[in-house]
């Protein structure tokens, strides 16, 4: 009997064993129990793990959305400053007033995306964009 034959037979053992527990949660639970693993405890852990994943997914989505909003805002602020510097400054001041009352907007139109992110990280970017849009009307 050659090694190839043994491997072929052992593969079939493994495949059937895997399929038995993939197709039947009762058999999977029994397998875990044989190893001394509490299936109920693992179910709770699994639920928490997928909830944690959804949370991270949402955070990731928000981060991507905010990054794109920041890029739009950067352009919009530069344009708004050119048209009406004092009103633009007032809008920014209002947006930040709760958290950064003493903030100065010197040269904000020339700030980098990272600098803007640091300053604008805790405000509603969509609302600020709307306010700047309204300034043009």
Question: CA 62, CA 134: separation in Å to the nearest integer?
Answer: 24
Does residue 70 belong to the site contacting another protein (CB under 8 A)?
Answer: no
User: Of 35 and 101, which has the nearer Cβ to another protein?
Assistant: 35
- Residues that bind another protein (rule: CB under 8 A) add up to a total of 49
Residue burial 25-44, b: 16+ Cβ < 10 Å; e: rest: eeeebeeeeeeeeeeeeeee
Is 21 a residue that touches another protein (CB under 8 A)? yes
Which residue, 22 or 75, is less far from another protein as judged by CB? 22
DSSP 3-state of 39 = helix
CB of 61 to another protein, least distance (A): 9
């Amino acid at each position: 009997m050659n090694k190839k034959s043994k491997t072929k037979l052992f593969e079939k053992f493994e495949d059937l064993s895997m399929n038995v527990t993939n197709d039947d949660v009762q058999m999977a639970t029994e397998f875990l129990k044989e190893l001394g693993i509490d299936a109920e405890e693992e179910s709770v852990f699994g639920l928490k793990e997928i909830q944690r994943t959804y949370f991270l997914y949402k955070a990731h989505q928000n981060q991507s959305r905010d990054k794109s909003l920041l890029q739009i805002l950067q352009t919009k602020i530069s344009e708004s400053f050119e048209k009406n510097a004092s009103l633009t400054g007032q809008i920014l001041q209002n947006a930040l007033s709760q958290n950064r009352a003493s903030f100065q907007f010197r040269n904000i139109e020339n700030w980098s995306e990272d600098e803007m992110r640091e300053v604008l990280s805790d405000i509603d970017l969509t609302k600020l964009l709307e306010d700047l849009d309204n300034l043009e009307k």
